[in-house]
């Protein structure tokens, strides 16, 4: 194993805490205008979201997980229905499916990335399938255009979990252009951060109305069921002001990722090949590993102060977690994918020296 002298050791944080000079004034203005989820501050945020992402409708929601719940309800998922999703995502995506009493049905990914394998999709769709969820991990665009076509042909709504993918595009359009409903999180760790929070984007006015109604107790009309998933005004105020900095922040991530890749020399480590027409937001830099023991490499980086989302979250296919094991359906591509990759932080607070330190560690690694 490579020798790294202790004096060189750094601790790299994978937590980026956005902070902008107008955060405080935005919060102060919201305090004056009222704090509930029906305040003008929230509708202004929704207007800003439509403007940035280019969708016809935006509905602010209390979290990314709640956004999935609301999207499932809006497309009419009921107890006993089946919802198809890839198993290579966090538990956050599958728990809302289970909470509705629906059955998660796992579909394999493609060999080269996190998109649904369209051949395997044909094997798992049944008359009970009420929704398909695609989860582009770490912001890497997937073949959402092809999946959108396949879903439309099958007459099944496509929900995109874009919790990592603010600013990721395919053929010049936000990934949210390709979902019937696109769900985002604005949790503190996500590219656009409001502490807790989320939103749903859609070009379908009817689905937008259903999302809005469901997330407001069915407007308490006593006819339409719903729950309260509204986003509060303070988080919305931060969202509006921070959206202005999103592109600048993604640009800093891109520069860091490029610096890392331009110095990367290890023959067993290479970047993911992005699909044609894709622009990755660099939420994390993702690397494909080809060691005899990839986990040992990830541990080595961790021991030298470089965290990996793979290690932090114990990433494995969802059916390998006890809470989800009853839905096991082996997905060999997905397993290989998660076992042969890692993530490298490239957020805006990292310095050039931090990037050089990380790539130096990678280049120095030798399998013993
Ligand atoms: C973070 C995350 C969620 C959940 O978002 P919250 O805002 O924390 O509820 C859902 N899906 C994915 C892929 C996530 O990374």
Instruction: Please tell me if the CB atom of residue 64 comes closer than 6 angstroms to any atom of ligand 1.
Output: yes
Query: To test ligand 1's pocket by mutation, which of 62, 63, 65, 86 has the most ligand atoms within 8 angstroms of CB?
Result: 65
Percent of the chain scored above 70 by pLDDT? 98
More confident residue, 317 or 368: 317
Q: Evaluate if residue 273 carries a pLDDT over 50.
A: yes
**Dihedral of the alpha carbons of 283, 108, 144, 186, in degrees to the nearest 10:** -40
Q: Where are the alpha helices (DSSP H) in 215-288?
A: 233-243, 246-263
> Is a pLDDT exceeding 80 seen at residue 288?
yes
Q: Sorting pLDDT into bands at 50, 70 and 90, what band is 230?
A: very high
Å from CA of 167 to ligand 1 middle = 16
Q: Which atom of ligand 1 is nearest to the CA of 67?
A: 9
CA of 192 to the centre of ligand 1 (A): 12
Q: What pLDDT is stored for residue 6 in this prediction?
A: 46
For ligand 1, whether the C-beta of 242 sits within 6 Å is: no
> What value does the mean pLDDT take over residues 138-156?
98
What are the Cα distances from residue 182, in Å, to 30, 111, 198, 368?
26, 24, 11, 45
Indicate the domain borders of the chain: 23-243, 246-364
How far away, in angstroms, is 191 Cα from ligand 1 center?
A: 12
Q: What is the mean pLDDT of residues 240-248?
A: 97
Query: What are the two backbone dihedrals, phi and then psi, of residue 23, each rounded to the nearest 5 degrees?
Result: -55, -50
Between helix 205-214 and helix 64-74 the angle, nearest 10°, is 120
From the list 306, 304, 294, the residue with the least C-alpha distance to 355 is 306
Ligand 1: does its nearest atom lie under 6 Å from the Cβ of 161? yes
Nearest alpha-carbon partner for 191 in 11, 12, 13, 17: 17
């944080």: which residue's tokens?
13
Does residue 81 register a pLDDT over 90?
A: yes
Look over the chain and give the mean of its residue pLDDT values, rounded to a whole number. Answer: 96
Q: How confident is the model at residue 7 (pLDDT cuts 50, 70, 90)?
A: low
| 118 touches ligand 1 (CB under 6 Å) | no
Beta bridge partners of 199: 60, 184
Pocket test for ligand 1, best of 71, 88, 92 (most atoms within 8 A of CB): 92
Report the pLDDT value the prediction gives residue 9, as an integer from 0 to 100.
85
262, with CB counted inside 10 A (0-12, 13-18, 19+), is exposed
What's the 163 CA to ligand 1 centre distance in angstroms? 5
Number of Cβ within 10 Å of residue 30's Cβ equals 25
Query: In the predicted model, what is the mean pLDDT of residues 66-94?
Result: 98
Which residues, in sequence order, are bridge partners of residue 84?
A: 105, 132
Please give the DSSP secondary-structure letter assigned to residue 257.
Answer: H
Residue in 62, 68, 93 to alter for ligand 1 test, most ligand atoms within 8 A of Cβ = 93
Within the chain, how many helices (H) and strands (E) appear?
13, 13
* Residue 2 confidence (pLDDT) above 70: no
Average pLDDT of the segment spanning 263-281: 97
At residue 368, the pLDDT reads: 76
pLDDT tens-digit profile of 149-160? 999 999 999 999
108-127 pLDDT, tens digit each: 999 999 999 999 999 999 99
Task: Inform me whether the pLDDT recorded for 347 exceeds 50.
Answer: yes
DSSP conformation letters of 39-90: SHHHHHHHHHHHHHH--SEEEEES-HHHHHHHHHHHTT--TT-EEEE-SSS-
Asked whether the beta carbons of 167 and 281 are under 8 A apart, the reply is yes
CA distance 282 to 260: 12
CA distances from 305 to 47, 128, 255, 269, 298 (A): 41, 47, 21, 18, 11
With a cut of 50, say whether residue 166 has pLDDT above it. yes
Q: Is 92 in the pocket of ligand 1 (CB under 6 A)?
A: yes
β-sheet bridge partners, residue 59 = 200
pLDDT of residue 165: 98
pLDDT at 4 over 60: no
| pLDDT > 60? residue 95 | yes
Alpha helical stretches, state H, 264-343: 294-303, 309-312, 332-339
Atom of ligand 1 nearest to the CA of 185: 7
Domain formed by 246-364, architecture: Alpha-Beta Complex (3.90)
Domain 23-243 maps to which CATH number in 2.40.50.100, 1.10.10.10, 3.40.640.10, 3.30.390.10? 3.40.640.10
Residue 162 Cα, ligand 1 centroid: separation in angstroms?
Answer: 9
Report residue 284 as tokens: 């994390």
Helix (H, G, I), strand (E, B) or coil at 221: coil
- Provide the 3-class DSSP secondary structure of residue 343: strand
The 10 Å Cβ neighbour count of residue 352 is 10
Give the integer Cα–Cα distance in Å for 106 and 331.
8
Cα(197) to ligand 1 centroid in Å equals 10
Task: Please give the pLDDT value at position 308.
Answer: 96
The region, left, alpha or beta by phi > 0 then psi within -120 to 50, assigned to residue 54 is left
**pLDDT value of position 5:** 52
Whether the per-residue pLDDT at 270 is higher than 60: the answer is: yes
Q: Which residue's CA lies nearest to atom 2 of ligand 1?
A: 163
């Amino acid at each position: 194993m490579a020798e790294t002298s202790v004096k060189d050791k750094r601790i790299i944080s994978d937590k980026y805490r956005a902070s902008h000079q107008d955060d405080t004034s935005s919060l102060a203005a919201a305090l004056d205008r009222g704090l509930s989820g029906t305040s003008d501050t929230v509708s202004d945020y929704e207007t800003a979201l439509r403007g940035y992402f280019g969708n016809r409708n935006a509905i602010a929601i209390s979290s990314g997980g709640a956004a999935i719940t609301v999207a499932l309800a809006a497309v009419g998922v009921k107890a006993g229905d089946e919802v198809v999703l890839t198993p290579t995502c966090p538990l956050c995506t599958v728990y809302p499916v289970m909470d509705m009493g629906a059955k998660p049905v796992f579909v394999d990914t493609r060999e080269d990335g996190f998109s649904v394998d369209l051949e395997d999709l044909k094997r798992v769709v049944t008359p009970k399938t009420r929704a398909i969820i695609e989860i582009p991990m770490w912001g890497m665009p997937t073949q959402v255009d092809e999946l959108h076509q396949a879903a439309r042909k099958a007459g099944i709504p496509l929900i995109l979990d874009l919790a990592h993918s603010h600013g990721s595009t395919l053929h010049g359009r936000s990934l949210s252009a390709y979902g019937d409903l696109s769900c985002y999180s604005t949790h503190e760790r996500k590219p656009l951060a409001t502490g807790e929070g989320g939103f749903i984007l859609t070009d379908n006015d009817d689905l937008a109305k259903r999302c809005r109604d469901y997330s407001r107790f069915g407007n308490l009309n006593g006819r339409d069921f719903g729950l309260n998933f509204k986003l509060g005004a303070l988080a919305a105020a931060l969202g509006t002001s921070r959206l202005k900095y999103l592109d600048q922040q993604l640009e800093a991530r891109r520069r860091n990722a490029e610096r890392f890749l331009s110095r990367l020399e290890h023959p067993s480590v290479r970047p993911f090949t992005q699909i044609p027409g894709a622009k990755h937001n660099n939420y994390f830099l993702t690397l494909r590993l080809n060691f005899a023991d990839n986990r040992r490499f990830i541990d080595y980086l961790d021991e030298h102060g470089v965290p990996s989302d793979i290690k932090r979250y114990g990433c494995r296919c969802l059916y390998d977690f006890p809470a989800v094991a009853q839905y096991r359906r082996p997905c060999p591509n997905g397993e290989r994918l998660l076992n042969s990759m890692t993530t490298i932080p490239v957020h805006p607070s990292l310095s050039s020296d931090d990037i050089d330190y990380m790539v130096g560690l990678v280049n120095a690694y030798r399998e013993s």
